[in-house]
Amino acid sequence: MFHEDLDHFLSRGAEALQRGPVALIFAEDGIELDTTLRHHRHCGFRSVILFGGADLAVPEDLQDRIHHVAHDMRADGALQQAVNRVIPRAAGQWLYYCYNAEYLFFPFSENRTIGEMLAFHTEERRDAMLTYVVDLYAGDLNRHPDAVSLDDAWMDRSGYYALARPDPGHHNHPKERQLNFFGGLRWRFEEHVPETRRKIDRIAIFRAKQGLTLREDHTFSDEEYNTYACPWHNNLTAAIVSFRTAKALKRNPGSTFDIRTFRWHNSTPFEWHSRQLLDLGLMEPGQWF
């Protein structure tokens, strides 16, 4: 179902926001758009909404199963603007957002649905979930110059770390149960990445409510949404494996010629399975077994 702009979707297609969980997919280009849409439908999202150019090639068999909203992804804050307009219309529902060529994995996602996981997360009185954006990259850039290949996907198995998140409103003392996470290509090639874009944490799964707003740094106006766990014990976290950084580094004229390969001694093939991410500590099952 195609919508000519966000206003048209909110007036004609907003019923898709009334039964969650809902996936919001933001397509900056057409790379791996097909696999991104199919992966998230397979995860069990009740609605999948695609934001991107009107000329995006949506697979024919998916055209009646998703909402395609024409949205200029080149505009400043395009994702933030769309999410913040969707939030009040989806109050009470679980939302998730990502870009094309990004794929959500959560504990035991091969045989459990996103709805099952969020039912448990809700029982733990949590309204948001921390996700780590784990960089993927093609192992052979000569064969895959855009750095994207599902069949030759690699990731870093180490090099991830966290720092306290300072609170400017309280003399930069650390915020409670909040950390800034780093690693992957944004850490190894940080000279090509603006400082404000080096974090790999994203509150990508959350329950919409009136008055809630997404900020530019992928955190929310409600500080409890930005915490990695409740005060009593560790909670579930998830991972988004993403070709987005690798793709940008190879597209950027300022970095593409400096990078012959993304592989290093801590690279490992990505197995497209949640167990690998759990074993590497890149997501946490909490009390969910």
So what's the pLDDT on residue 229?
93
Comma-separated ranges of CATH 3.40.50 domains in the chain: 1-100
102: three-class secondary structure by DSSP: strand
In what helix (H) or strand (E) does residue 182 lie, and over which residues does it extend? strand 173-182
User: Which of 81, 70, 82, 79 has its CA nearest to residue 17?
Assistant: 82
Overall fold of domain 1-100 = Rossmann fold (3.40.50)
So what's the pLDDT on residue 71?
96
So what's the pLDDT on residue 73?
94
Q: Kindly state the DSSP code that residue 7 receives in the 8-state scheme.
A: H
Ranges under pLDDT 50 in the chain: none
Provide the 10 A C-beta neighbour count for residue 148: 19
Q: What digits encode the pLDDT tens for the residues 29-45? A: 999 999 999 999 999 99
So what's the pLDDT on residue 18?
92
Q: What digits encode the pLDDT tens for the residues 234-278? A: 899 999 999 999 999 999 999 999 999 999 999 999 999 999 999
So what's the pLDDT on residue 12?
87
The pTM of the full predicted model, rounded to 2 decimals, is 0.96
So what's the pLDDT on residue 232?
85
So what's the pLDDT on residue 76?
92
Work out whether strand 67-70 and strand 47-52 pair parallel, antiparallel, or are unpaired.
parallel
